[in-house]
Amino acid sequence: MSPEAGNPALSAWRDGAAKRAILDFVTRVTTVGHPDFVRPFDRIAVFDNDGTLWVEQPLPVQACFVLDRIQALAPQHPEWRDRQPFKAVLEGDVGGIMAIGMDGLTEMVMATHAGMSTEAFAALVRDWIATSRHPRFNRAYTDLVYQPMLELLALLRANNFKTFIVSGGGIEFMRTFSDTVYGIPPEQVIGSSIVTRYVLQDGEPVLLREAELHFFNDKEGKPVAINTYIGRRPIAAFGNSDGDFAMLEWVTSGPGARFGLILHHDDAEREFAYDRDAGLARLARGLDEAPLRGWIVARIKTDWELVFPS
Amino acid sequence: MSPEAGNPALSAWRDGAAKRAILDFVTRVTTVGHPDFVRPFDRIAVFDNDGTLWVEQPLPVQACFVLDRIQALAPQHPEWRDRQPFKAVLEGDVGGIMAIGMDGLTEMVMATHAGMSTEAFAALVRDWIATSRHPRFNRAYTDLVYQPMLELLALLRANNFKTFIVSGGGIEFMRTFSDTVYGIPPEQVIGSSIVTRYVLQDGEPVLLREAELHFFNDKEGKPVAINTYIGRRPIAAFGNSDGDFAMLEWVTSGPGARFGLILHHDDAEREFAYDRDAGLARLARGLDEAPLRGWIVARIKTDWELVFPS
């Protein structure tokens, strides 16, 4: 019995070990009487976002949003002209931008993400996403999602999986498009967050976004956040960098049938090729340990017939 | 058209203003073409737990768990015999127990909720819930849920609402029974939480519960947590104390059809009667402002035919 029968097909996946492993796992956990059967209640699958569900090169999409917002806000901040990291951004100083460390990044995020209501922020993101284009592909970022992963999400949901995003990206950034783009509602999106505060403005309650980190959802933070938001251990996890290592480790260490998959970006022609030297998107330990841990490594070049929706 | 047609009936609710308001709201938001129609995606309803879905007198259920755990752990903590607040608990000193302030309460929660894995904690709670009895009704706490509210949850879900718990209680405490008792899966339970940390023990990953508060989900914290977990504003909210005031305010201030309901415990014979002097369960501002804000006040004595499942 194939889980594809009457189900969304994985037609953007080429026949190969990765596709076979996915179909085999779905068959085992959904076949009543199979020793690996998992009741629908426990069919939870978690997906990283940047580089797993959509493009993250040459810069993560949310970083592009930050840079554009700094340009847009610059007239109200004349002091930025002489102050790093803003100066480098405003002058288009690529070397300076690349040299921005974690502190500078945090400062830029707070300057562009805080000091407004949750509703005002969501409106800014929606406007930006609707009008921005990827520098290489000249397409909207929401068109640069991976067709094979959309099919995988659909296949899992057709088999009564509940699908969640567990990303280092901003939770309120992703929630503006997760439902329309991935079919994942806001309450199934987990990400990094800043502090919000409930206040009355002219008698109307609003949630104000404050310039203070609430939770950074990366590395060992991912299993912690999965527990906080979902409250039980998923049975399948999908990622593409060592920021996802702990999440895959947590998920695949549970009892019963488990599935871990790492997406390896090795196709510079159709998308991008990066791994061990990719900075925040670095993938090294995952590649080294995947075989020992029984994790599947899917390679864009060989496993994907199609990268983006056509 | 009645939303009860072919739906779970509200048979434990007596005919009256509260029941009529519920049915009218559900009819309006689910009738295509009605000006108050709400698409299923946005049909989110949030419920307080203690005193809204189950009994919270003479002590909140989780407080009973804390007291029992202190007794059970006492042999390993000889120092507790001479130290408050533990001394009062171990001696059954009711006056001393009643005098325990917020700091003492926090200390007792940490002593009984932290220092173990999430899985070990859940097992403790499950064992305790299965074997404990309410001092007055001599029934399991999970039998002392409110039948009218179970029917309301079922009615809403039959009308494509997604139902969430938003409680000051411990998130991992409630998640052990929310699905079997309320039909609410763990990922739709929001509560107070302590810090957890991802660690390897003998090579096996575990989430360790630490003696540090992560989030206290009460009062203005409730709308904040709703945004953190759900990512949009619900259209209906149900509570019973002023700890739910901000949640009801947030929910009913949104555009379009909104519904707020406060449960008033006024039936000492069948359950308990308390409001303005009820300490942590105090209900005063809610009673005073409900009429101005269009919130429904449901009274156990007059609105409920049945309190607990028979």
Round the average pLDDT of chain B to a whole number and report it.
95
How many angstroms separate the CA atoms of A23 and A208, rounded? 45
SS3 B237: strand
Name the residue in chain B with its Cα closest to that of A206: B250
CB within 8 Å: A232 and B198: no
Over residues B156-165, the mean pLDDT reads 98
- Interface predicted TM-score (ipTM) of this complex, two decimals: 0.95
Over residues B103-122, the mean pLDDT reads 94
Residue B4, pLDDT above cutoff 50: no
CB within 8 Å: A250 and B205: yes
Question: What pLDDT score was predicted for residue B7?
Answer: 63
Question: What pLDDT score was predicted for residue A98?
Answer: 81
SS3 B8: coil
pLDDT tens column, B167-193: 999 999 999 999 999 999 999 999 999
Over residues B11-33, the mean pLDDT reads 97
Are the CB atoms for B246 and B217 separated by under 8 Å? Answer: no
- Please name each of the domains of chain B with its CATH number: 17-57+144-303 (3.40.50.1000), 61-131 (no CATH)
Q: What is the DSSP letter of B276?
A: T
CA B184 to chain A, closest CA, distance in angstroms equals: 11
- CA dist list (Å): B106 to A116, A244, B101: 33, 34, 9
Are the CB atoms for B198 and B207 separated by under 8 Å? Answer: yes
How many angstroms separate the CA atoms of B280 and B152, rounded? 25
- CA B136 to chain CA centroid, Å, is 20
- CA dist list (Å): A84 to A69, A280, B4, B5: 16, 21, 62, 64
Maximum distance among all Cα pairs of chain B, rounded to whole angstroms: 68
Residue B154, pLDDT above cutoff 80: yes
Are the CB atoms for B251 and B285 separated by under 8 Å? Answer: no
How many angstroms separate the CA atoms of B122 and A44, rounded? 19
How many angstroms separate the CA atoms of A310 and A144, rounded? 10
Across the strands, what pairs with B74? none
Over residues B118-122, the mean pLDDT reads 97
pLDDT tens column, A50-107: 999 999 999 999 999 999 999 999 999 999 999 999 999 999 888 888 888 888 989 9
Kindly state the tokens that stand for B205. 């990953």
Chain B contact set for A118 (CB, 8 A): 227
Taking 70 as the pLDDT cut, the residues of chain A under it are: 1-7
CB within 8 Å: B250 and A189: no
Over residues B296-304, the mean pLDDT reads 98
Torsion of CA A108, A143, A171, A252, to 10 degrees: -120
Question: What pLDDT score was predicted for residue A1?
Answer: 43
Residue B126, pLDDT above cutoff 90: yes
CB within 8 Å: B232 and A186: yes
- CA B127 to chain CA centroid, Å, is 20
Q: Where are the beta strands (DSSP E) in chain B?
A: 44-47, 116-117, 162-170, 189-201, 204-215, 236-239, 259-264, 296-299
pTM over 0.90: yes
Chain A contact set for B207 (CB, 8 A): 223-224, 227
Question: What pLDDT score was predicted for residue B6?
Answer: 54
Chain A contact set for B246 (CB, 8 A): 198, 205
Spatial neighbors of A94 by CB under 8 A, at least 6 apart, are none
What crossing angle do the helices spanning B147-158 and B17-30 adopt, rounded to 10°?
20
Tokens 């914290």 sit at which residue?
A: B221
Question: What pLDDT score was predicted for residue B95?
Answer: 87
Residue B234, pLDDT above cutoff 50: yes
Chain A residues touching chain B at CB-CB below 8 Å = 41, 118, 162, 171-172, 175, 179, 185-189, 193, 196-198, 204-205, 207, 214, 220-221, 223-224, 227-232, 246, 249-250, 253
Question: What pLDDT score was predicted for residue A6?
Answer: 53
Question: What pLDDT score was predicted for residue B1?
Answer: 44
Residue B87, pLDDT above cutoff 70: yes
Question: What pLDDT score was predicted for residue A100?
Answer: 86
Beta-carbon contacts below 8 Å between A and B: 82
